Amino acid sequence: MCSFSTSSCRNPIRLSAFLYITLTEELCGSKLSSTSCSIHHRANNVFMQKAIWTGHDGPVKKIVRSGSGKALISRTNDNEGLIWKQASDVSGMALRRSSSLSCPEHIHRSCLLKEGDFVINLHHHSISLWDARSPAAEQVVLCPFEAAGKPLCLLPLPHPDPESPIRYLASITSKMEAIVWEVHLPSRSQQKSNGHLSATMRQFCYSDLGLQDDLAFVLPVDPAGSIPAAAGFLDTFAKDLAISYTNNGVLRAWTATLDLDNRSANWLVTSTIETDVNSPSLASASSIRKIAIVDRAKTGLTIWDPWSAQLEHAANYESPDTIQDLDWSSTPDDQSILAIGFPYKVVILAQMRYDYLNAGPAWAPIREIRIKELTSHPIGDSTWLGSGNLVIGAGNQLYVYDKDVATSDDMVVDLSVPVHQHRLLSIFDLVTYLNGPLPVFHPQFLAQCILAGKLVQVQRIIISLFKALKFFVPGDDLDSFVSLSPIDFYSEQENLSSAAKKEMRSSYADFADDDEPETVTEDLAASLNEDLTKLALPQLSSQEQFHLADIIECVATVEKQRRSMDENAMRYLLFFRQHMIRKGQAPTARVEITWREIIWAFHSGSQDILVDLVSRQFHGRMLWEHARESGMFMWMTDLTALHAQFEIIARNEYMKTDEKNPIDCSLYYFALRKKNVLLGLWRMAAWNREQSGTQKLLRNDFSEARWKTAALKNAYALLGKRRFEYAAAFFLLAGNLQDAVNVCTHQLHDLQLAIAVARVYDGDDSLVLRSLLEDKVLPQAAFEGNRWLATWAFWMLGRRDMAVRVLISPVYTLIDSPATPNFQAKSYLSSDPALVVLYKQLREKTLQTLKGASKISPRAEWEFVIQNARLYDRMGCDLLALDLVRNWEFLKQPKETSMNGNQLPDPRKMLRRRSSLVVDDMPSPKSPTEHKTKPVGKPAPTVFEEPDTNSLLDSFGF
C-alpha cells in the first residue's frame, strides 16, 4: 500500500494500475499482474522496494462514498471493487486503499458501513454483506429476497443509537415496495469463530409505499452535510432519504423512521414538486434539501428547493457536452455545492445568496476541471470527499483534486467575492463568502430593511458606519454590527424622540461629541462616500462597496422629503433614485422600474409629490420613454392628475425634436380627445409633405360613420407600412379603442402604453381596460409568476380581496390561464420577501382586503410567513427573519354568526387592534374575473335536487 497526498500540488494525484510497469519489469526481471506495480530505489547496487501502486483492471464506472465522506468504493463493470479511505500524513490529505473485493454476482448498488469496514452489495435477487477490514474483502452473509419489482436503490436508514452495531438498510423497488434489512455487525475486537464472523443479516420488514404513477426511478440522497440522525417522530422536517421521479415530471422526497417494537418502517413524502421536466435522464438530491434534475437530452439542468417547491437554477449546455453525473457536497454550515460531470470535464456550481432587487442568480460556477489534458479516457464517475476534495474516476485511474480554489480564476473574479489579499481559498471558505449572514452595512441588507419599513434602523447603521470609519485603517477588523445591538432590529419598542435622545446624552456631556449626527444628511453621505472611495471594507467587494455608496446617497435624498411623504412613497423614491444612479453608470442599458416599485407608489398617499420629484429627475421634459421607465401611469390613481400629466407627455413628445413633428404626439392627443389641438400643430408643420392631407382629414366630424370608416382605412394602411404608433392614433380617431390597445400590446409590445391610453381615453371603468387586464395582464402574470403585477391588476379590477390572496398563493392557482406557467413562474424570484410587507399592509386596509384575508387558512398564512423567513435567511438577512417570526400578528379567525353559515362574519372582528382604520368598500362590483377564478367549493344548485339516500342516513348517524 501507499498513500497519495494532494497538499503539495494543485494538480490532481493519479492512482493507476499501469504506472511504471515497464520500469518495474526491467528492474525486477519478472512479469507483473495488471493490478500491481512497484517502484524500486537503487542504493549501493541493491534494489529496495519503496512503494506499490494497486488499482483496477478495467475502467471505473461507479464511485460510492460513505456518509461522512471519509471512505469510498470504486467499482468496475466486472464487479470488482476497491475500498479507499481518507487519512492524513505529514504532507496533508492522503487516500489509501484499504481492501478489495471481487463479487461473482452482478453488483447493482453498494453501500459502505462503519467508514468502509463493511460493504453491502445489492444484487437483483439477493443482498450480501462483506467484511473489508482486511486487504481482501470477504463475503460473510448472503441474504436472498423476493420482490415483485426490480430493486432501484439501496439506502441506509438512521438508527436511534449511532454507536449500536446494528444497522438498517432499505431498498425501494419499481413497484414502490420498500424492503428493510437488519444487519448485526461484529465489533472490531470480535474475531472469526470456526472460520466465520459473528455477523448476521435478515429481512426486517416490508412496506407498500403506493404512488406507482408512471415511476421513472428512485434514488438515495447524497449524504451531504451532517449524517442523518433518527428522529423520534415522523414529519416533514426530517432529513430526506430518497427521491422518486415520474415520467410526467412529478418529484417526491421521502423520509422514514423505524418502529423497532413493531418491526415496521413508516414512510412519509416530505415534499412534492411538479417540475414539468418529462422523462428525465438523471437526478440527484442532497440530504439538506436540494434536488438537481437533467432533462431527456442530457443538456438541460434544473435545481429545485423542496422546502418551497421552487426552481432555483436552470441552465442549458451545448449539445456535445452531455451531463452524465451529479454529485452533492456541502460546507460545514450546510451551504450546498454541486459537481456536474461531463465526459471530459466537471463544472462545480456553488449556492449563492438570493438577490431579489437585482434578480441575481441563486447558483454560479466557481470552478471547471478538464481532464482531457491528463488522459484520453472519459470520466466514469466522481464523488466528493468529506474534506472538500473531488475524486474523479477516468479509465482505470482515480484523480484527486485539491480543495483550494484560485481567487484569480475568471469564474471567481466574476462573482465579486471580497477575497482581498487571499490568493487561494478553500472551496468551503469560498462558498461561505457567497452565503451566510451579511454585515448590517451590506447594501442588500440595507435595501431589505428599507422595504421592511426600518428606515430608522438604516439611518442608525449608516451613522454608526460613519463613526467606525473615522479611525479605520486598512487591515483593521470591522464589526459586522458596527457596534449596534441585534435587538434593535427586531424590538417593537418605539423610537426615542429627539428630545429624549438629547436628555440621555446630557449625562455624558463631558464625553459626547457635539457634532454627532442624528440623521443621514447629504453632507454626512458625501463625507462617508468619500471615505468609501479610499478604504476597502473587509466584508464587501468593490462592487458591493460601490452599491453601498449609492444607497447612502439615496437615503440622504429621501431624508430631505421624509416629513412630506408616507412610507410607501419613500420606498418608491429610494429605489427610483438608485435605479437612476445605476442607469447613469451604464447609460446603454435599457432598464425599467419593476412592478414591485410601482406597487409601492400605487398604494402611496403622496403621489403628487412623487410626480413632481420624478418630473424633476428628467428636468421637466418627461417623454413617454421616461414615464414608462418610472411606471408613472401605472401607479397614479387620480384621473385628473393622470390626464394633466399625459398632456405634458404629449407636449414634450411634440417638442423633442427641432422640427416639431405632429406625428410624434398624435397618439397622445387623440387619447386625450383633443383633436383640435393636434390640428393646430399641423398648421405649423408646413415642412411636412403630409400636412395638407392630414389637415383636410382632421377638419371632419368623426362622430359620423363615413369619417370613422376613413380613419379606420388610414389606420390599416399605416399598419401595412409598419407605422404602428401612428396607426394606433388613427384607431383612436375612429373611436376604436380596442384596436388601438391591441396595436400597443402586440405590435409595439408596450403594455404600459396600452394601459395608459385606455385609462386616459375611457377612464378606469373602461370595458376595454377591464378586458385588457383580464385577458392580457393576469394571464401574463400567471405565466411569469409575477405576483406584483397580479395584485395591481386585481386592485384595478376592483377585486381587492383577490389582490390580497394572490400575495400568498401562486398566480396560476387563482386564475384559469390558457398558457402553461413557465419555469419563471416557479422560480424563487416569484416569492419576493417584500410581499409579506405588502400583505401585512393591505390586509387591514379595507373590508374587501379583510374578506380576502379571511379566505386564507391559518396554515397557509403560517407557511407563508415561515417561507419568507427562510428567504430572508437565504439572502443573508437573518435579523429580518427573526423580526418577522417574532413580531408577526395573525388575524383572529372569524366565527360563524348563524347556524346555517349563510351569513358571512364581519371581517372587522378579525382585527386584533380595535383602533385600526378600515375603509368600507363593500360590496364590490362583480366582474368577469370573478367567474374566471377557480371555484373554492361546489356551487349551490340552481334548481331543487332530490338528496341522495346515503346522505340522509349519514345525517342521522347511520
DSSP state letters, 726-739? HHHHHHHHTT-HHH
Whole-angstrom Cα distance, residue 932 to residue 329?
46
Identify the DSSP state of 827.
Answer: B
Task: Read off the pLDDT of residues 170-207 as tens digits, 9 standing for 90 and up.
Answer: 999 988 889 999 999 887 655 554 445 578 899 999 98
Question: What per-residue confidence (pLDDT) applies to 421?
Answer: 65
Question: What per-residue confidence (pLDDT) applies to 746?
Answer: 95
Instruction: Indicate if the pLDDT at residue 771 is higher than 50.
Output: yes
Predicted TM-score of the model (pTM) = 0.84
Question: What per-residue confidence (pLDDT) applies to 192?
Answer: 53
Q: Are 220 and 153 in contact (CB under 8 A)?
A: yes
- What are the grid coordinates assigned to 715, written together? 389606420
> How does the average pLDDT of the chain come out, rounded?
83
Question: What per-residue confidence (pLDDT) applies to 233?
Answer: 65
Task: Read off the pLDDT of residues 510-543 as tens digits, 9 standing for 90 and up.
Answer: 444 556 788 899 999 999 999 999 999 988 988 8
First to last CA, the chain: 77
Task: Read off the pLDDT of residues 7-22 as tens digits, 9 standing for 90 and up.
Answer: 334 455 555 433 333 3
Q: Measuring CA to CA, how many Å separate 163 from each of 158, 270, 393, 630?
A: 11, 27, 32, 63
- Position 425 confidence tier, pLDDT thresholds 50, 70, 90: confident
What one-character-per-residue DSSP string does 233-259 give?
S-STTSPP-EEEEETTSEEEEEEEEEE
Dihedrals φ, ψ of 97, to 5°? -75, 130
Give the strand order in the sheet containing 109-113.
109-113, 118-122, 126-131, 138-144
Whole-angstrom Cα distance, residue 827 to residue 831?
8
**Helices 443-451 and 455-468 sit at what angle, rounded to 10 degrees?**
150
Instruction: Indicate if the pLDDT at residue 818 is higher than 80.
Output: no
Question: What per-residue confidence (pLDDT) applies to 160?
Answer: 72
Question: What per-residue confidence (pLDDT) applies to 22?
Answer: 30
Q: Highest mean pLDDT: which of 770-779, 821-830, 887-896?
A: 770-779
Q: Are 41 and 50 in contact (CB under 8 A)?
A: yes
Collapsed DSSP state (helix, strand, coil) of residue 188: coil
Question: What per-residue confidence (pLDDT) applies to 597?
Answer: 95
- What are the grid coordinates assigned to 903, written together? 351569513
Question: What per-residue confidence (pLDDT) applies to 38?
Answer: 42
Question: What per-residue confidence (pLDDT) applies to 364?
Answer: 94
- What are the grid coordinates assigned to 487, written together? 435587538
**Helices 443-451 and 878-887 sit at what angle, rounded to 10 degrees?**
20
Q: Give the residue-averaged pLDDT of 130-151.
A: 91
Task: Read off the pLDDT of residues 901-921 as tens digits, 9 standing for 90 and up.
Answer: 455 556 666 665 654 566 666
Whole-angstrom Cα distance, residue 139 to residue 118?
10
Question: What per-residue confidence (pLDDT) applies to 496?
Answer: 40
Collapsed DSSP state (helix, strand, coil) of residue 348: strand
Which residues, including other chains, have CB under 8 Å from residue 400's CB and lie 6 or more apart?
A: 4, 6, 12, 13, 15, 93, 95, 385, 389, 390, 391
Question: What per-residue confidence (pLDDT) applies to 57?
Answer: 80
Task: Read off the pLDDT of residues 300-350 as tens digits, 9 standing for 90 and up.
Answer: 999 999 888 899 999 999 877 899 999 999 988 889 999 999 999 999 999
Instruction: Indicate if the pLDDT at residue 284 is higher than 90.
Output: yes
Whole-angstrom Cα distance, residue 731 to residue 729?
5
Which residues, including other chains, have CB under 8 Å from residue 873's CB and lie 6 or more apart?
A: 881
Task: Read off the pLDDT of residues 819-871 as tens digits, 9 standing for 90 and up.
Answer: 667 777 888 988 899 999 999 999 888 888 888 888 888 899 999 999 999 99
Collapsed DSSP state (helix, strand, coil) of residue 419: coil
- What are the grid coordinates assigned to 862, written together? 403560517
Task: Read off the pLDDT of residues 625-657 as tens digits, 9 standing for 90 and up.
Answer: 999 999 999 999 999 999 999 999 999 999 998
Task: Read off the pLDDT of residues 730-754 as tens digits, 9 standing for 90 and up.
Answer: 999 999 999 999 999 999 999 999 9
Whole-angstrom Cα distance, residue 649 to residue 665?
8
Whole-angstrom Cα distance, residue 454 to residue 448?
9
Q: Counting runs of H as helices and runs of E as strands, what totals does the chain give?
A: 31, 32
Collapsed DSSP state (helix, strand, coil) of residue 132: coil
Question: What per-residue confidence (pLDDT) applies to 46?
Answer: 60
Q: Are 570 and 555 in contact (CB under 8 A)?
A: no
Instruction: Indicate if the pLDDT at residue 214 is higher than 50.
Output: yes
Instruction: Indicate if the pLDDT at residue 755 is higher than 80.
Output: yes
Q: Measuring CA to CA, how many Å separate 384 from each of 259, 305, 344, 635, 688?
A: 32, 21, 17, 52, 73
Whole-angstrom Cα distance, residue 690 to residue 678?
14
Dihedrals φ, ψ of 671, to 5°? -65, -35
Q: Give the residue-averaged pLDDT of 610-621.
A: 92
Question: What per-residue confidence (pLDDT) applies to 1?
Answer: 35
Instruction: Indicate if the pLDDT at residue 159 is higher than 50.
Output: yes
Instruction: Indicate if the pLDDT at residue 935 is higher than 70.
Output: no
Rg (alpha carbons) of the chain, rounded to whole number: 35
Q: Measuring CA to CA, how many Å separate 849 from each of 508, 547, 837, 907, 921?
A: 50, 37, 15, 9, 9
What are the b/e assignments for 561-581, b being 16+ CB within 10 Å?
Answer: eeeebebbbbbbbbbbbbbbb
Reported as type and span, the H/E element at residue 302 is strand 300-305
